[in-house]
Copies of this chain bind each other. A is one copy, B any other.
């Protein structure tokens, strides 16, 4: 897809409302007409916003020429739901038109039998490219790169480059420069297009190519790739193997994809959700994906209940404690969650290291103490108004201070410990934190009450 291709004007936007209206009116001809004019990105968005039945119906109305592009743009769950119903020949035809990095992405998520019959039917050249992409781990440059690269040799003149370029009707999107290799395929540098424009035709490529930036190693992690692009204002970047042989290139759209995935992961995993989840998935698959998370949280809820159970006698004697105890747990949960989110983000941005983690923990605990004292006063006062019992007021105030300090310390410590254990803090941090603030909250409040008030 190049920018110059026949694309609609961005003002001719197809709205979701329009699609639903036309579906209701069963005006399939008009839908087909609009889909023919729309950009594949818009069509993918529309499919993702459809309940399953309507999704299949609309998919049939979308232009076949765009099918490949649409498939690569859909999220995994939605794409799979469409692919499963495609005849093998059609799927193979689509796969052969994809960039092999997109194909690698797709094929990994397919049910085993579909994957096999697809792989068997690919042409040798494409299978070979696909295997190259798949030989690198998910989330590395080698997996992300496109192997479709325009290269020029370092020992030719710009005049040769120009003639070569004139053979191409259009350059691929995100081509701000050409990759320069030597006669053996080793990466030499990047020839920026403006250098071709502003230098003499007799100049040799090697004299004007940009060698300031090291190429990206195929094993480089995607987060680091995104940082390079941001830091050095790349539009595209070469990917090489450990011997510096050019393997492919990564472009800006890959980086946007990385950023979006990272952001979705940070947001969704906190609720135990997969970032590729389909909002409109059928009931059964939605239920399955959520059940496990509820089960995990049930364990922590019973842990809290067990702590309360220890103090059943105390609760039996002073019922006001049962009324007030959720306040202590909840304040700890909220304060801890703030610290946790900040710490997880700091880790993701590589801002936390040996040199500052104690400073950070100390600061967060101090914040916990100050906020704890402040809100302990408020809570104690309200509790006193309610139950007119100084003992209960003093106990709840102390419990809140204790829980907010525990919350702050855990908010910093949990992500650091989980990371050390190679467990994703974005996924499990909140569960662990809530368990701690619940247990500490109930235990300190009911424990102090048992000791002082009985």
Contacts and interface: CB of A to CB of B under 8 A. Distances in A.
Interface centre among A194, A293, A327 (most CB of B within 10 A): A194
Nearest to A382: B302
A454 interface: no
Interface in A323-356: 323-327, 329-331, 334-335, 337-338, 341-343, 345-346, 349-356
A451 interface: no
Contact of A293 (B229, B298, B334, B359): B334
A346 B282 CA distance: 16
A3 interface: yes
A10 B298 contact: no
Contacts of A386: 309
Interface string A251-283: 011011001101110111011110001011011
Contacts of A255: 256
A315 interface: yes
Given A174-B235, A197-B197, A259-B259, 12 more contacts: A17-B354, A165-B197, A233-B252, A259-B263, A262-B263, A279-B343, A295-B375, A298-B331, A298-B375, A298-B379, A302-B382, A312-B319
Given A193-B194, A213-B9, A367-B290, A342 B279 contact: yes
A345 B267 contact: yes
Nearest to A237: B10
A394 interface: no
A48 B192 CA distance: 33
Nearest to A39: B231
A301 interface: yes
Given A338-B293, A353-B16, A371-B294, A42 B231 contact: yes
Contact of A233 (B3, B272, B331, B438): B3
24 contacts: A7-B212, A7-B213, A9-B214, A16-B353, A17-B355, A165-B197, A174-B235, A255-B256, A259-B263, A266-B267, A267-B345, A271-B334, A273-B338, A277-B342, A279-B343, A279-B346, A283-B370, A286-B367, A295-B378, A300-B330, A304-B330, A305-B326, A319-B322, A326-B329
Contacts of A382: 302
Q: Is the interface of A mostly helix, strand, loop or mixed?
A: helix
Contacts of A51: 356, 359, 363
A349 B45 contact: yes
B337 A271 contact: yes
A369 to B, nearest CB: 9
Contact of A263 (B1, B266, B282, B309): B266
A320 B313 CA distance: 10
A360 B322 contact: no
A239 to B, nearest CB: 13
A294 B282 CA distance: 38
Contact of A370 (B232, B287, B298, B370): B287
